[in-house]
């Protein structure tokens, strides 16, 4: 898919990677807002710098077990770090581990020692290590000997690498905003983490892209009321080439989202009226304030809608909104049909 203008986000992340490490950075945003695409672009644009990127894209894997985590993060080699064979087009690395190392008897201290060895090997060569983990929340349910949570212990390691020793940047990407909420309230990470939102595309950016792609002014003005995500633009361009009008494409998208939402509501054990009451908050506005407009008894419905990626919870800015403008229109059509 073509990379669309994200100059502000690119500049922020490129600059961040070149500063002295001092905190963990959590990059978050609605699903399909382009977080991974932007991060990969950052890596590509800095490939000739003195930065060594360790990049792990966990969306490529089913939720890993303990053993699978070890095989994803480490590769047997005589080097402390080496090219990640699954990401050769990016030129990123993974942690090296001795050929005769026994994965079966590893404790967490062994794991962390090997990560530290790899990072220190980069530093000793006069280079800057940056560790990036995409969809970090997939490590939530992995436990090591003694029932230690891998993720909780990793956070302690990340604080040590960044805030305490200033050795390595750690950047974690996720679209799971309930996970970000957990992180935000985690005492281990207090004063040791930063958050960066990659949100919907700006309307000016969408207008420029569609104009460049040959859309008429009428088509652009119609589309601007509905588009918010990069992949929508790519699909709209492809569908136009296939003979579908902008209006046809967008109406199809809304119908798909509407049917999916209706099915979700019909098949859950949660009170239907409670769900519709929460969705009704978005009838006349696209976002609500968590502090001012959400009651305690509504939280279970909100959580359900956030978990199922109908709503996006921006815990840092204290707002809740649909995951896309298309989703918002689907919600409004469902609410209007109920009245």
- Cα 276 from Cα 331, distance rounded (Å): 9
Can you state the angle between helices 230-241 and 203-212, rounded to 10 degrees?
A: 30
Return the DSSP state at 201: P
Task: List, in sequence order, the alpha helices (H) in 74-160.
Answer: 108-124, 150-159
Per-residue pLDDT of the chain (339 residues; tens, 9 = 90+): 466 678 999 999 999 999 999 999 999 999 999 999 999 999 999 999 999 999 999 988 777 788 889 889 999 999 999 999 888 789 999 999 998 888 777 788 889 999 999 999 999 999 999 999 999 999 998 988 778 899 999 999 999 999 999 999 999 999 998 999 999 888 889 899 999 999 999 999 999 999 999 999 999 999 999 999 999 999 999 999 999 999 999 999 999 999 999 999 999 999 999 999 999 999 999 999 999 999 999 999 999 999 999 999 999 999 999 999 999 999 999 999 886
- Cα 339 from Cα 322, distance rounded (Å): 21
| Sequence-distant (≥ 6) Cβ neighbours of residue 17 within 8 angstroms | 42, 46, 51, 128, 130, 169, 171
Give residue 4's pLDDT: 65
- Cα 280 from Cα 336, distance rounded (Å): 9
- Cα 280 from Cα 188, distance rounded (Å): 37
Give residue 29's pLDDT: 96
Give residue 2's pLDDT: 60
Using DSSP bridges, classify how beta strands 311-314 and 319-322 pair: parallel, antiparallel or unpaired: antiparallel
- Taking a C-beta distance cutoff of 8 angstroms, is the pair 302, 320 a contact? yes
User: Please, how many CA atoms are within 13 Å of residue 339, restricted to the half-sphere of its CB?
Assistant: 9
- Taking a C-beta distance cutoff of 8 angstroms, is the pair 82, 93 a contact? yes
Return the DSSP state at 47: T
Give residue 3's pLDDT: 64
Closest CA to 13 of 197, 166, 177: 197
- Cα 286 from Cα 278, distance rounded (Å): 13
Task: List, in sequence order, the alpha helices (H) in 137-215.
Answer: 150-159, 177-184, 203-212
- Taking a C-beta distance cutoff of 8 angstroms, is the pair 15, 169 a contact? no
- Taking a C-beta distance cutoff of 8 angstroms, is the pair 231, 206 a contact? no
Going along the chain from its start, the domains and CATH numbers come out as 7-197 (3.40.50.300), 203-338 (1.10.10.10)
Kindly calculate the radius of gyration of the chain based on its CA atoms and give it in whole angstroms: 22
Return the DSSP state at 206: H
3-state secondary structure of 37: helix
């Amino acid at each position: 898919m073509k990379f669309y203008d994200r100059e502000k986000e690119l500049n922020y992340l490129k600059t961040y990677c070149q500063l002295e490490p001092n905190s963990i950075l959590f990059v978050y945003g609605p699903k399909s807002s382009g977080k991974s695409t932007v991060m990969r672009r950052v890596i590509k644009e800095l490939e000739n710098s003195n930065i060594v990127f360790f990049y792990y894209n966990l969306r490529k894997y089913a939720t890993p077990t303990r053993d699978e985590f070890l095989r994803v993060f480490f590769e047997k080699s005589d080097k402390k770090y080496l090219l990640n064979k699954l990401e050769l087009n990016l030129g990123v690395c993974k942690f090296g581990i001795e050929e005769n190392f026994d994965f079966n008897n590893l404790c967490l201290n062994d794991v962390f020692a090997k990560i530290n060895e790899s990072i220190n090997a980069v530093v000793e060569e006069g280079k800057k290590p940056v560790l990036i983990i995409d969809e970090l929340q997939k490590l939530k349910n992995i436990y090591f000997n003694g029932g230690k949570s891998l993720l909780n212990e990793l956070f302690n390691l990340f604080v040590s690498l960044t805030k305490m020793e200033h050795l390595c940047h750690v950047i974690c990407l996720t679209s799971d905003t309930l996970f970000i909420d957990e992180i935000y309230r985690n005492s281990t990470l207090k004063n040791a983490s930063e958050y960066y939102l990659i949100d919907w595309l700006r309307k000016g950016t969408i207008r420029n892209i569609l104009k460049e792609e040959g859309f008429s002014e009428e088509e652009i003005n119609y589309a601007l009321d509905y588009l918010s995500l990069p992949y929508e633009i790519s699909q709209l361009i492809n569908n136009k080439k296939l003979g579908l009008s902008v209006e046809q494409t967008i109406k199809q998208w809304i119908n798909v989202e509407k049917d999916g939402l209706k099915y979700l509501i019909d098949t859950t054990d949660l009170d239907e009226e409670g769900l519709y009451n929460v969705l009704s908050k978005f009838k006349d506005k696209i976002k609500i304030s968590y502090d001012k407009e959400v009651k305690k008894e509504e939280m279970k419905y909100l959580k359900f809608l956030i978990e199922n990626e109908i709503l996006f919870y921006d815990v840092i800015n204290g707002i809740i909104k649909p995951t896309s403008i298309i989703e918002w229109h689907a919600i409004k059509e469902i609410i209007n049909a109920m009245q």
